[in-house]
Amino acid sequence: MLLGSPMRLTSLLLAGLVALAPAIPASAQATAYADQPPILLGAAWYPEQWPESRWEPDLVLMEAAHIHLVRVGEFAWSTMEPSEGHYEFGWLERAIALAAKYHICVVLGTPTAAPPAWLTTRYPETLRIDQDGHRDEHGNRAQFSFANQRYRQFAHDIAEQMAIHFGHNPNVVGWQLDNEYGNDSFDPEAKAQFHAWLQKKYGTIANLNQHWATAYWSQTYDTFDEIPARNNNENPALLLEWKRFVSDTWKSYSTNQIDAIRPHADKRQFITTNTMGWFDGFDEYTLHSVLDIAAWDDYIATDTYDADANGATHDLTRGYKRKNFWVIETEPAFVNWRPTNTPLQKGQVRDMAWQAIGHGADAVEYWQWRSAPNGQEEYHGVLAGIDGKPVPVYDEVKQVGDEFEKTGAALSGTEPRASVAIVQSYDSRWAIDFQRHSAKFEPVAELIAFYRPLRDQAQAVDVISPDAPLDQYKLVVAPALNVLPQGIADRLIAYVKQGGHLVLGPRSGMKDEYNALNPQRQPGPLVDLLGANVSQFYALDEAVPVSGELGHGTANIWAETIAPSSSDTQVLLKYGPSNGWLDNQPAAVTRTVGKGSITYIGAWLDQPLLNSLTASFLKDAGVQLILPGVPDGVEVCQRTGSGKSVLILINHTTSSQHIALPAAMTDLLSAGSSKINSVDLPKYGVAVLQN
């Protein structure tokens, strides 16, 4: 037991929300630790919920399932610090040591997502306040204010004490900060920080008023303190800046704990947090600038498993750091929070696990290992029941673990590589969501509409930020790049002039960095490069016919008319008869620029027509399939590196599929690692092949 500072009001050096990031060790990779398989199977384990006599039987079952990783501690604050300044880590030391006995390494979670009752009772100012002024109560989780300095001191202290104890523990491979960042706060301290953040960015209130056009509705401000803090129903510039402030605040929240951990931890221990896919409460690229690797929680939000959409989310997560990542939580067949929590089909748990590896995951970890004795998630899927005995999905996960061990050496040091990229912009998603104009224009749905054919036709796609390097890509697609600052536009112009092929989707280039309308109209700073601009946009309540040399179909949800201004701008598609405004007007145009090209698609196209367009774009860009002739519903993934190339084939369908291989390959999942010239995949079948 250690005694901490009773009052803990030490300064946090929180003067700048955009704090300098600590140096990230170059060696902090997902597989940079000894004596563990290169590809890990894991589970979330909560030893604090059980008598110690039950720990070993759980770990025996884990080892039998080839589980080599557990995440522990992320909700155990009241057990680690049962009263203020009094720390109890003996139980955690014993749990980690016992896990090591069964060849299981540990990711430690800082427990700051679930503060203990003594903290929130004694210091109620640490509780978040929602936009309507209501303060959270204790009893759930994530009820803290991410901006509160007192809470940050408590978070710093518990993280530092954990690092002092476990930063050199050979069985601890990494750290997860908090859990599923999400809730912002509108408490007085957060508002004051927002005002300081704005003043630092704009310098003067007159500059802010100019960029925000506050003369509209008499919103003109005399001081920064007059500016409200809201996340809806406000000036679009204010809303966008609030989101950016929230992003920087979560970044500094992370840096606060990183600064507590890193001085006491081995360089081999990585630091991450667990993200939630397309959740857009903050900018993940901003947050990940201070993290070592990316990790996400892979849960199926719909009644059926959509492999394309799930693959896109893996690629999104890989794009946060542009390197391999972890799936730090995923469902063992079902969840508990959907209206009807139907299970994955038998075989789909394995299907999902291998899809994660194919898209660049180096670990897959199930939430959770065992049913909790009580609490809000009693019905959630598990690998072991309340009695400690395996549930039916255990055997399928055991098969996955066995296969990870067989293939780990071949996959070690490899990663996916793509020559096609989709640009994903949080600023643009936020700007569109603030002012949908058509309720059905969902930015992520539009991105995935482009992703589906690109992934099928190219078999490898990166999802990247607007700031990511573009040199490696033959084709770059920006489905709805609504906010287009001049700096990003300059990079896109240079990409095209250097021979790249750029495709813009509807609503692109409408706004500048302040969420104000670009005076050139769409696509803003790219108008001259395109040799055209958007003359008008229209929300659609019914389908409109669209046709051209590349096919015919319909526009739905959204349509823009495009006015060419250059003689070499070619019209690809035109609208048919509809509302009069759209009749015979250009819907998509393209222009060749040297060896490159820029294309603008002004409509939300039906999927078959969009598929025809993307096939043409890929052909023009010279993008080749990884493995031609693959049946529909079979996903092809390739990981290369360290002189190796591994193909992962996944049959997402319920029918058997035959795939001919271009040359004899080694079947890494077969007992004899035999050479084969073709693969027959059963329902939800998987093959892992090496040249």
Looking at the structure, tell me whether residues 401 and 518 fall in a common domain.
Answer: no
Does residue 4 register a pLDDT over 90? no
448 & 582 share domain: yes
pLDDT(37) > 60: yes
Report pLDDT for 234: 96
Average pLDDT estimate for 63-75:
98
Ramachandran region, residue 654 (left: φ > 0; alpha: ψ -120 to 50; beta: rest): alpha
On the question of pLDDT at 11 being above 80, the answer is no
Whether residue 77 lies inside any domain: the answer is yes
Q: Which two tokens stand for residue 533?
A: 């601009």
Q: Is residue 628 part of a domain?
A: no
Average pLDDT over residues 451-459: 98
Work out the average pLDDT over 228-254: 97
Tell me, yes or no, whether 269 lies in a domain: yes
- Is pLDDT above 90 for 18? no
Assess whether 401 and 506 both reside in one domain. no
What pLDDT was estimated at residue 417?
A: 98
pLDDT exceeds 90 at position 452: yes
Whole-number percent of the chain with pLDDT over 90: 92
pLDDT for the residue 691 = 87
Distance spanning both ends of the chain, measured CA to CA: 55
Quick one: pLDDT at residue 587? Answer: 98
Has residue 19 got a pLDDT over 80? no
Question: 395-414 burial string, b = 16+ CB within 10 Å, else e?
Answer: ebbbbbbebbbbbbebbbbb
3-state helix, strand, coil in the chain (%, to 5): 35, 25, 45
Q: Are residues 604 and 653 in the same domain?
A: no
Total domains in the fold of the chain: 3
pLDDT tens digits, 568-580: 999 999 999 999 9
Domain boundary among 350, 385, 411: 411
Biggest CA–CA distance in the chain, Å, is 79
**654, 510: one domain:** no
Is position 320 within any domain? yes
Instruction: Judge whether 160 lies within some domain.
Output: yes
Give the range of the structural domain holding residue 568, as residue numbers without chain letter. 420-621
Strand ranges for 27-131 from DSSP E: 40-44, 69-72, 86-87, 105-109
pLDDT tens-digit readout, 580-628: 999 999 999 999 999 999 999 999 999 999 999 999 999 999 999 999 9
Report how far residue 463's alpha carbon sits from residue 649's, in angstroms, rounded to the nearest whole number: 21
Residues whose CB falls within 8 Å of the CB of residue 353, separated by 6 or more in sequence, listed in order:
41, 330, 364, 397, 400
- Same domain for 316 and 446, yes or no, is no
Whether residue 649 sits in one domain with residue 616: no
Residue 113 lies in a domain: yes
pLDDT of residue 36: 80
Please provide the average confidence, as pLDDT, over all residues in the chain: 94
Angle (CA) 129-135-139 rounded to 5° is 115
Who wins on pLDDT, 289 or 19? Answer: 289
As a whole number of angstroms, the distance between CA 362 and CA 418 comes to: 18
pLDDT of 155 above 60: yes
Separation in Å, CA 548 to CA 243, 449, 573, 613: 40, 20, 4, 10
Q: Residue 303: its pLDDT value, please?
A: 87
Average pLDDT over residues 660-677: 89
Share of the chain above pLDDT 70, in %: 95
Q: For residues 603 and 640, state if they share a domain.
A: no
Looking up residue 103, the CATH number of its domain turns out to be 3.20.20.80
What residues are annotated to the active site?
180, 329
The answer to whether the beta carbons of residues 630 and 637 sit under 8 Å apart is no
Residue 273 carries which side chain, given as an amino acid letter?
A: T
Domain boundary among 411, 430, 455: 411
Q: What are 547's two structure tokens?
A: 């046709």
Cis ω on the peptide bond leading into residue 523 (within 30° of 0)?
A: yes
213 band by pLDDT with thresholds 50, 70 and 90: very high
Q: What pLDDT does 192 receive?
A: 98
pTM of the prediction? 0.94
The mean per-residue pLDDT over the stretch 321-332 comes to: 98
Query: Is 527 inside any structural domain?
Result: yes
From 593, 621, 649, the end of a domain falls on 621
- Using one digit for the tens of pLDDT, what is the confidence trace for 352-405? 999 999 999 999 999 999 999 999 999 999 999 999 999 999 999 999 999 999
Is the model's pLDDT at 93 over the cut of 60?
yes
Beta bridge pairs of residue 429: none
Joined together, the tokens standing for residue 72 give 């522990």
8 within a domain of the structure (yes/no): no
31 and 362 in contact (C-beta within 8 Å)? yes
Say what the pLDDT of residue 673 is: 67
Residue 570: give its domain's CATH number: 3.40.50.880
Task: Write the CATH number for 685.
Answer: 2.60.40.1180
